[in-house]
Amino acid sequence: KYFFICFYLFLFPFKVAISMDVVTKGNIQISSAWSRPTVNLKLPGSAYLSIKNFGSKNDSLTAVETPIAKKAELHNHIIEKGIMKMRRISIIDLPPNSTTTLKPGGIHIMLFKLNKMLEVGQKFPLNLTFKRAGNIEIMANVVKDSTRILELNKKNNKTHTH
C-alpha cells in the first residue's frame, strides 16, 4: 500500500505538467500554455506557449488578454551592447507550416498588474487574437518546474521554431 501511494505521488506532478490543453482553430494550434508562480503582486508575471501554423499563409499573433492581469503584452528579449533587455513587440509573425515557441529568454507574454498571485496548480485563461484565425482562448497552467513542458515542446515541434 505504501509503495502505491509513493508511486502515485511521484507521478502526479508529471501529470499536471504534461496534461496541457491543446486548442485548434482553423490553421492555428495552441499548446503547452504555462506560467511560473509569482512571489509578489508588485512584480509582473509571464506566460509561455507554442503556436503551430498548419496553413500555407502567414498569420500573426496581434494581441493577448487575460482576466488575471490588467494588461498583457507581447515581449521579446534582445541583446543591446552586450546587455539583455526586454522590449514590447506589436506582433509575433507565424510563418506557414511552422511552430513558434514562446519561452523564457525569448518571445513571451508579460502580465502586468496581476489581480492575484499565481500559484502552482492554478489555471487561467489567455485570450489570443490572430490576424487570420481570430480569437482563440487557452488555459495556462501555473507550474513550478517547466523542464518537462519544454522537453515536450522540443520533441513535438520538429518544424521552424522562434
Q: Is the pLDDT of residue 41 over 80?
A: yes
Q: Is the pLDDT of residue 34 over 60?
A: yes
pLDDT in tens, 94-112: 999 999 999 999 999 999 9
pTM of the model: 0.79
- Number of Cβ within a 10 Å radius of residue 159: 13
Residue 83: predicted pLDDT: 87
Residue 161: predicted pLDDT: 38
The string over 113-127, giving b where at least 16 C-beta atoms fall within 10 Å of a residue's C-beta and e elsewhere, is ebeeebeeebebebe
C-alpha to C-alpha distance for 128 and 141, rounded to whole angstroms: 16
For the chain, helix (H) and strand (E) counts, in that order, are: 2, 11
* Residue 78: band (very low, low, confident or very high) from pLDDT cuts 50, 70, 90: confident
> What mean pLDDT comes out for the span 14-24?
62
72-79: long-range contacts at Cβ-Cβ below 8 A with a sequence spacing of 24 or more? Answer: 72/47, 72/109, 72/110, 72/111, 72/112, 72/126, 73/109, 73/110, 73/112, 74/107, 74/108, 74/109, 74/110, 75/46, 75/107, 75/108, 75/109, 75/110, 76/106, 76/107, 76/108, 77/105, 77/106
- Contact of 132 with 50, CB cutoff 8 Å: no
Q: Is the pLDDT of residue 142 over 80?
A: yes
Q: How far is CA 143 from CA 47, 53, 132, 159, in A?
A: 11, 26, 31, 26
Q: Who has greater pLDDT, 13 or 142?
A: 142
Residue 80: predicted pLDDT: 84
